[in-house]
Structure 1
Amino acid sequence: MTDIAVIEAKYRALSDRLDEATLRIWAAVEARSLGRGGVSKVAKAIGMSRTTIYAGLSELESPPPPSTRDKSSTRPRVRAVGGGRKRLADKDANLVSALDALVEPTTRGDPMSPLRWTTKSTYRLSDELKHQGHEVSQRTVCDLLAKMGFSLQSTRKTKEGGDHADRDAQFAHIAKTVADYQATGDPVISVDTKKKELIGDFKNAGREYQPIGTPEQVRVYDFIDPQLGKVAPYGVYDLTTNTGWVNVGIDHDTAEFAAESIRRWWYEMGKAVYPSARRLLITADCGGSNGYRVRLWRRELQKLADEFQLSIEVSHFPPGTSKWNKIEHRMFCHITANWRGRPLTSREVVVNLIGSTTTNQGLRIKATLDENTYAPGIKVSDEELATLAIERNDFHGEWNYKLRPRNPHP
């Protein structure tokens, strides 16, 4: 059981047997035994005010006063049941409902309220309640929100966009195809372009150990450096060998750039590992430079199939599910962690940091700088598209297709 659960259980057992003063002292003893944060834990567990617990701690530090007793009782005098200042929620019957109307997540309160589109801090909430005629402090708002089941929370990335009807079926198709390729020893790669990165002394998310008081100095504003520009790391991750290749481009992220990245991976890494391969499986997102709607992507893959003399099969993840692509959480996340808190001051720094990324599970990555230029907006005509040796799968042929080599070698 957690500390809070244990204290709550004790309180339920003692609350009907101890008077107010003794309960206050007991709560203070529990808080002191828990150390740092003990007051907050006890207050959360039993609903007692932090001020009351601090008062109990002060009483523990001072000598006990002489006991004054009623003439008709042997117990020390304590406040009568129901004595003391009434709670605001008891005196103001509409206070809780007014607060709930301001923070309730569906109605959001009055559409004209200034809190509807602004940060709902406890100070703003108390000011708005005062404006409505309720005498309430910021501290009381905090206590009321806790009792109402609210807490401070950040946003959480869980929504993946539109949920396609055949989403799960496509996942099953990809899993089955990957297993089939791996069973025959043929290569399976996951591809994607990582987020473009500014090159220069710019702030990078995360923290890194530095001598105390000497943080890395970076620019205040993230205006692109006209000399250094940005880089677009295109990654190729081998699902079987847990190795990766990153082609760091300095120009446009196009389908030609994506195909060139796969070409470099094949000649630098893949061909040596799979010398007898006759087919290659690529899993990719449904959008971007390697999207299923991009004609140039298919044309460039046909060139690779002809050049490699491999049958290249592609399976796209359904719309809104890009985070399921293996390269995202098996390679890109580790690259991001490796350069956290470090300004990417040059293209060489990017290449070196990517190439030095490793994990305890054996991930190894090679990286190179691609200084080629790639023209955007290249159109592929219907006539050119008709020359491709493409075979569409019976199940969602727009997501699952195969490009065979034209004029294969004997």
Structure 2
Amino acid sequence: MRFPPATRPWRHAKDPEKVKGHDFIDPELGKAIPYGVFDMGRNRGWVSVGIDHDTAAFAVAALRAWWTNEGAQAYPKAKRLLICADAGGSNSYRNRLWKIELSRLAADADIAITVCHFPPGTSKFNKIEHRLWSQVTSNWRGQPLTSREVIVNLIGATTTRTGLSVHAELDEGNYPRGIKVSDDEMTAIGPRLDPHEFHGDWNYTVRPSRQSRTTSK
């Protein structure tokens, strides 16, 4: 897809880069859907660029990819993982599939996953917006996004003077929309899902097994 950039790079006179004036999906180039993970302690970003749909399964797949390839190595003794996420979108606190997929990740990684959602309308306070996405946007400013390869490369090339580095990769998996999670499925993970005392709908911990216990407030 070729979209008009926010600024213009220097080019030879009378030789402008042609871009499309509207953001429509190009059947030939497809779409690119970035989902990011920002590790505040290491000032390190991970971005999975999907090509199918922005679903809860895709979001957790990105988290799984980060944990498998970087997180587990960076924190080998970790027993708990804290995720600060927006209240809406593919990782919405209302999304049943999000919690089902998180329960699978918790079981596979044998780690308790605590999620704290930002209240609706407060996503601007999410550190990932200021310390990752704003830098990615700045890095590709003036660069027409002509292909998925260009998008992945520009995201992965993002750095800052304070030491930010980013890994980006293409996720070619299929993530169909409209997957329904039944009441029985939610009941099945109930013993492993611990709502916190304060706003349990926004703050909760998914345990890897029924036996493991965590203290959450």
**TM-score bracket relative to the smaller structure:** over 0.9
Which residue of 368, 378, 395 corresponds with 2:169?
368
Which residue of 201, 204, 217 corresponds with 1:401?
204
Distance across 1 between alignment mates of 2:101 and 2:109: 12
In structure 2, relative to structure 1, the CA distance for the partners of 1:312 and 1:214 (3 Å cut) is same
Distance across 2 between alignment mates of 1:250 and 1:205: 24
Identity %: 56
1:84 corresponds to:
none
Which residue of 277, 282, 292 corresponds with 2:78?
277
- 1:107-146 to 2 correspondences below 5 Å: none
| Preserved CA contact (<8 Å) 1:309 1:408 | no
Are 1:253 and 2:54 counterparts?
yes
SS at match of 1:327: helix
1:391 corresponds to:
194
Distance across 1 between alignment mates of 2:157 and 2:87: 30
Shift of 1:408: 6.9
Distance across 1 between alignment mates of 2:22 and 2:201: 43
SS at match of 1:365: strand
Distance across 1 between alignment mates of 2:177 and 2:88: 16
Are 1:203 and 2:1 counterparts?
no
Q: Give the residue type in structure 1 aligned to 2:127.
A: K
Instruction: Select the structure that is richer in strand.
Output: 2
2:98 corresponds to:
297
Which residue of 110, 120, 127 corresponds with 1:319?
120
In structure 2, relative to structure 1, the CA distance for the partners of 1:284 and 1:220 (3 Å cut) is closer
Are 1:267 and 2:68 counterparts?
yes
Distance across 1 between alignment mates of 2:23 and 2:199: 42
| Preserved CA contact (<8 Å) 1:305 1:404 | yes
Shift of 1:379: 1.0
Which residue of 152, 171, 184 corresponds with 1:351?
152
Which residue of 307, 317, 324 corresponds with 2:108?
307
- 1:111-260 to 2 correspondences below 5 Å: 199=1, 201-260=2-61
Distance across 2 between alignment mates of 1:275 and 1:380: 33
Distance across 1 between alignment mates of 2:49 and 2:149: 10
The CA deviation string for residues 159-197 of structure 1, in whole angstroms up to 9 with x for no partner, is: xxxxxxxxxxxxxxxxxxxxxxxxxxxxxxxxxxxxxxx
Task: Name stretches of at least 5 consecutive residues in structure 1 with no aligned partner.
Answer: 1-198
SS at match of 1:366: strand
Q: Give the residue type in structure 2 aligned to 1:205.
A: A
SS at match of 1:211: coil
Distance across 1 between alignment mates of 2:22 and 2:5: 12
Q: Which moved more, 1:368-377 or 1:214-223?
A: 214-223
Q: Give the residue type in structure 2 aligned to 1:399.
A: W
Task: Name stretches of at least 5 consecutive residues in structure 2 with no aligned partner.
Answer: 213-217
In structure 2, relative to structure 1, the CA distance for the partners of 1:300 and 1:221 (3 Å cut) is closer
Instruction: Select the structure that is richer in helix.
Output: 1
Shift of 1:272: 1.0
What TM-score results when the alignment is normalised by the length of structure 2? 0.92
Distance across 2 between alignment mates of 1:255 and 1:285: 13
Higher RCO (CA-CA < 8 Å; seq separation 6+): 2
Distance across 2 between alignment mates of 1:243 and 1:202: 27
Q: Pairwise CA RMSD of aligned residues?
A: 1.5
| Preserved CA contact (<8 Å) 1:306 1:408 | no
| Preserved CA contact (<8 Å) 1:357 1:365 | yes
What TM-score results when the alignment is normalised by the length of structure 1? 0.50
Distance across 1 between alignment mates of 2:151 and 2:19: 16
SS at match of 1:340: coil
Q: Which runs of 4+ in 1 moved over 6 A?
A: none
Distance across 2 between alignment mates of 1:405 and 1:323: 31
Distance across 2 between alignment mates of 1:211 and 1:377: 48
